[in-house]
Structure 1
Amino acid sequence: MKKIHLLLLKSFIRPFIVTLLIVMFVLLMLFLFKYIDDLIGKGFQWYIILELMMYNSATNVAMALPLSVLLSSIMTYGSLGENYELVAIKSAGISLRRAMYPMMVVVLVLSAAAFFFSDYMLPVANLKYYSLLYDARKQKSADLLPENIFSNRFPGYSIRVKRKDPDGQTLHEIMIYQTGKLETNQTVTFAKSGLMYRSKDDLYLILKLRDGVRYEEDAGSSGNSLPRQRLTRFRFKETEQKLDLSVFKIQRTDENEFRNASMMMNLRQLQHYVDSAHHEVDSNVKVNYNLVKAYMKYTTVPLTSSVIKKPIPADSIKMTGISDKVNTLNNASSEVHQIMDVLRNRADRHKETSKSIRRYIMEYQKKFTLGAACIVLFLIGAPLGAIIRKGGLGLPVVVSVIFFLIYYIIGTIGEKSAKEGDLSPLIGAWISIGVLFPIGLFLTYKAATDSALFDVDLYKRFFKRFSLRKSKPI
């Protein structure tokens, strides 16, 4: 490997790693801002939050990797152009295409790695992430006893605390309703104050109550079926009430319930699902007539019928009265409505199946578009950096964000249109690549021919000549 290739590789790899980490951090912050209300205040262990952030970072690679390739390529070639290193490379007889060769190899390796990541690792990360996020969002709040609210978060109890001290553990004017076997509030406890803390094994919430009274209602010992025959009241200076905390532990849902989603599948599973869905659609089309035929009592007799030699003409059927006509029309209308209901249900099922097929085909194609996006955005970023000749995080960031927004918006529109059936899933998945690839080739050609595409003085001189021509008298 030549020294010039090592120089270019070092100039590319460093900003690529830095920009990838920055973009991943920004996307992770967006995730935290979006779900902060669902995660804070629920008493999660620190490793649950860390695990969720790790899985989210893995799912963000599909967006962060193309943007990092675009930004780092613009920064690399912009910095080389700004420091006149590209001029020195060209003066040594090395064309821009040869200067792009080592980094193109790196980008091809990244594209292959992106494909294998999206096929093998991304489905697993999506499965872990969305299942854990689902369980975290449905988790109950860790604020077990809010002020001035009857809390029903503990099964069988309804508890109200009028006021809490700033330490969050000292309670005042406590009221506890406890449901008995008869599903009625058979035990009521009042206390002037109390202390709330967790047990050492974190399995129970202990309420140490002071200066209170407890009322208990019983069916009595006489064998009477009436629910309230005996009332017991006793006062206490101090007592304890244990509340089970197991309902506040995060309950993990079986991950197999999420495996049928398209984002949780690899190429082989997606292809198997699409083939099965197409087979189901074809079989449904074949049985539709048989299902509708049962509701059709009046059918056309074939000309070669072996049972009926001569069909009876429709105009030969005579109806004697108004009631016969009304009954005939009612029967016909009822049969038409029955057939319409059957067809509507079949049509809705066919529509949902077709939409699901398009969604899975889109996910199948996205396994390949991630690597292709890295190549196309590199073809845009490298020549663009050589043309604008600006390094650092200033102008390259602005230009890269603009092109990435174009890529992302076109891709999102194509994906939504394909899922709704307005576009073919193949076109919807590749439309953003198809739009940006000619732009990348055009910029590569302009950079290779030393075109002053972004030279402001060139455009000033052009408009100046144009205005002078307009101002000349005829």
Structure 2
Amino acid sequence: MKKIHLLLLKSFVRPFLVTFLIVMFMLLMLFLWKYIDDMIGKGFQWYVILELMAYASATNVQMALPLSVLLSSIMTYGSLGENYELVAIKSAGISLTRAMFPMFVLVCGLSIGAFFFSDYMLPVASLKYYRLLYDVREQKSANFLPEGVFSNSFANNTIRVQKKDPDGQTLYGLTIYSKDPLKNTSFMVMAKQGKMYRTFDNKYLIIELKDGIRYEENAGSGTGVYIPRRVFIRQRFKSTTQKLDLSGIASMKATDESSFKNGLQMMNMRMLGDTIRVLNKNLDSIRMANFQLMSPFIKYFAVPARPDSAKIKAVAYKPNWYKALPITDKQQALITARQEVNSVKEQYKIRMGAFDNIKLSEHGAQVEYYKKFTLSAACLALFLIGAPLGAIIRKGGLGLPVVVSVVFFLIYYIISTIGEKAVKAGDASPFIGMWISIIILTPIGIFLSYKAANDSVIFDADSYKKYFANLLAKIKPLFSKKAAA
């Protein structure tokens, strides 16, 4: 048994490591595709980009690990079935359940490691990742020139941009005030449009201006004692360039990590638990305040309060009291009632807005809390699907196993995403929304394990052809009898 266990473990570990690295590489490429414009050509050191990629890879583990377990388990048992090694194991009197046991223990170990990773390492990696990504994105040239603001980011220059395109490079309505302290000259440029880019050495920012006018004032050649003579120059242009020095602002500034520590993704289980308790306490306080605020507006038709021992005589309710009032009293009663109803509605709307915001924050904290457990449970659930599925399809390699694993992983990911969105929107219970994918996939895994243990032919096309052929043979005489009748 020990040799068989060692054989199965070796057959699983190698595909698992390969698939895990491949999936991590693909997710990293998606990250680079998304943020490549924010990193290239901004003058970053190579180690800053590598650091950001390392933190991004750490945050991708929660998606790569379940997919790697599913794919490697299908590949392992599919390869064993394709090479008739499972037949040899069963002929030796070892059931499929016992053959899955060592790999199940290994996957349990991976699940425990995934839990500790998501509780201890993932919050730290997320904090580093989002802080560094924020610094990288703030280093974009477009952030130096905000819309509608006179920016003094560049020495001896004051620049105002009226509007920017979404790409952040095309500018409209530019006004530039520039001064040369050495020559004691100054000029102002106004242009309808401009486009900016950095030089290859990242030392200067070039702005190409179009359709504008330049005003310049400098010292003239004349002499004067009290009022020196000045020269004013006005020049129109179709196209010109403005060169701005980046030496003082091109270096990236590290933001304090304390600004990001309040994010739910940067918290471990203890911090999330404390956050949930504080939010629940705030919700109880709002409920009590709402009750105290609304209770004076509620009127009751009731007899005066008396001791329990006193006898209370029932008073008949007269539904026609409103009809007996004069017309002026009726109008005043309706106006007063409407005012009170509107007042109650406004107070309720304001209070419930704050209540809903805190409730959604509590749901978000519970989502991150349950994520610490669902990652481990997903590894086990997908292994229960992958191992028997590989034994049934009996195909190894990266062909059919990849297709099947991607289909089941998409099912898991879509259900998980829908459940998470529903919880954050307040449309589902946090427990049900976060565990719905595991609740759905676990019975499927148990069913496939049962079928694989009994040598079921779920994916055998010939068996389905025979079944439908026999069914048609039974149904055909019935139709012939009806036609004859």
For this structure pair, what is the TM-score category when the shorter chain's length is used for normalisation? 0.7 to 0.9
Structure 1's 447 and 329: CA in aligned 2 closer, same or farther, altered over 3 A? closer
Is the 1:186–1:217 contact (alpha carbons within 8 Å) kept by the matching residues of 2? Answer: no
Is the 1:262–1:360 contact (alpha carbons within 8 Å) kept by the matching residues of 2? Answer: yes
**Corresponding residue of 1:451:** 456
**After the TM superposition, which residues 132-147 of structure 1 pair with which residues of structure 2 at under 5 Å, given as runs?**
132-141=132-141
**Corresponding residue of 1:359:** 364
Q: Which amino acid aligns with 2:384?
A: L
Is the 2:204–2:244 contact (alpha carbons within 8 Å) kept by the matching residues of 1? Answer: yes
Give the CA deviation at 1:216.
3.9
Is the 1:414–1:429 contact (alpha carbons within 8 Å) kept by the matching residues of 2? Answer: yes
**Corresponding residue of 1:83:** 83
Which residue among 347, 372, 379 is the counterpart of 2:352?
A: 347
Q: Greater CA deviation, 47-56 or 430-439?
A: 47-56
**Corresponding residue of 1:312:** none
Q: Give me the whole-angstrom Cα distance separating, in 2, the residues matched to 1:329 and 1:244.
A: 70
Which residue among 281, 284, 292 is the counterpart of 2:286?
A: 284
Q: Which amino acid aligns with 1:119?
A: D
**Corresponding residue of 1:58:** 58
Which residue among 421, 424, 435 is the counterpart of 1:416?
A: 421
Q: Which amino acid aligns with 2:61?
A: V
Deviations 1:123-182 (A, max 9, x none): 11111112222222232239999xxxxx9863624599xxxxxxxxxxxxxx9741699x
Q: Give me the whole-angstrom Cα distance separating, in 2, the residues matched to 1:406 and 1:457.
A: 27
**Corresponding residue of 2:230:** 231
Give the CA deviation at 1:109.
0.3
Is the 1:111–1:375 contact (alpha carbons within 8 Å) kept by the matching residues of 2? Answer: yes
Q: Which amino acid aligns with 1:431?
A: I
The count of corresponding residues between Structure 1 and Structure 2 is 421
Is the 1:78–1:389 contact (alpha carbons within 8 Å) kept by the matching residues of 2? Answer: yes
Give the CA deviation at 1:34.
1.8
Q: Give me the whole-angstrom Cα distance separating, in 1, the residues matched to 2:298 and 2:466.
A: 84
Is the 1:263–1:363 contact (alpha carbons within 8 Å) kept by the matching residues of 2? Answer: yes
Is the 1:43–1:142 contact (alpha carbons within 8 Å) kept by the matching residues of 2? Answer: no
Q: Give me the whole-angstrom Cα distance separating, in 1, the residues matched to 2:298 and 2:364.
A: 40
Q: Give me the whole-angstrom Cα distance separating, in 1, the residues matched to 2:455 and 2:409.
A: 24
Q: Give me the whole-angstrom Cα distance separating, in 2, the residues matched to 1:261 and 1:448.
A: 46
Structure 1's 299 and 96: CA in aligned 2 closer, same or farther, altered over 3 A? closer
Give the % identical residues.
55
**After the TM superposition, which residues 25-424 of structure 1 pair with which residues of structure 2 at under 5 Å, given as runs?**
25-141=25-141, 154=154, 156-158=157-159, 177-178=177-178, 186-187=186-187, 215-216=217-218, 231=230, 243-292=245-294, 303-304=304-305, 336-424=341-429
Q: Give me the whole-angstrom Cα distance separating, in 1, the residues matched to 2:14 and 2:425.
A: 42
Q: Give me the whole-angstrom Cα distance separating, in 2, the residues matched to 1:203 and 1:33.
A: 26
Is the 1:197–1:205 contact (alpha carbons within 8 Å) kept by the matching residues of 2? Answer: yes
Give the CA deviation at 1:261.
1.9
Q: Which amino acid aligns with 2:464?
A: Y
Is the 1:197–1:206 contact (alpha carbons within 8 Å) kept by the matching residues of 2? Answer: yes
RMSD between aligned alpha carbons?
4.2
1:435 paired with 2:440, answer: yes
SS in 2 for 1:413: helix
Structure 1's 289 and 444: CA in aligned 2 closer, same or farther, altered over 3 A? closer
Structure 1's 230 and 243: CA in aligned 2 closer, same or farther, altered over 3 A? farther
Structure 1's 140 and 216: CA in aligned 2 closer, same or farther, altered over 3 A? farther
SS in 2 for 1:154: coil
Q: Give me the whole-angstrom Cα distance separating, in 2, the residues matched to 1:350 and 1:253.
A: 32
Q: Give me the whole-angstrom Cα distance separating, in 1, the residues matched to 2:118 and 2:131.
A: 18
Q: Give me the whole-angstrom Cα distance separating, in 2, the residues matched to 1:5 and 1:297.
A: 73
Ranges in structure 2 where 5+ consecutive residues have no aligned partner: 146-150, 162-174, 190-196, 208-214, 234-242, 307-320
Structure 1's 319 and 451: CA in aligned 2 closer, same or farther, altered over 3 A? closer
Q: Give me the whole-angstrom Cα distance separating, in 1, the residues matched to 2:421 and 2:246.
A: 47
SS in 2 for 1:178: strand
Q: Give me the whole-angstrom Cα distance separating, in 1, the residues matched to 2:244 and 2:431.
A: 60
SS in 1 for 2:217: strand
Is the 1:142–1:248 contact (alpha carbons within 8 Å) kept by the matching residues of 2? Answer: no
Q: Give me the whole-angstrom Cα distance separating, in 2, the residues matched to 1:297 and 1:465.
A: 73
TM-score (norm: length of structure 1): 0.77
Give the CA deviation at 1:466.
2.1
Deviations 1:10-42 (A, max 9, x none): 100000000000001111111112222333332
Q: Which amino acid aligns with 1:391?
A: G
Q: Which amino acid aligns with 2:281?
A: H
Ranges in structure 1 where 5+ consecutive residues have no aligned partner: 146-150, 161-174, 190-195, 208-212, 235-240, 306-314
Structure 1's 297 and 286: CA in aligned 2 closer, same or farther, altered over 3 A? closer
Structure 1's 244 and 18: CA in aligned 2 closer, same or farther, altered over 3 A? closer
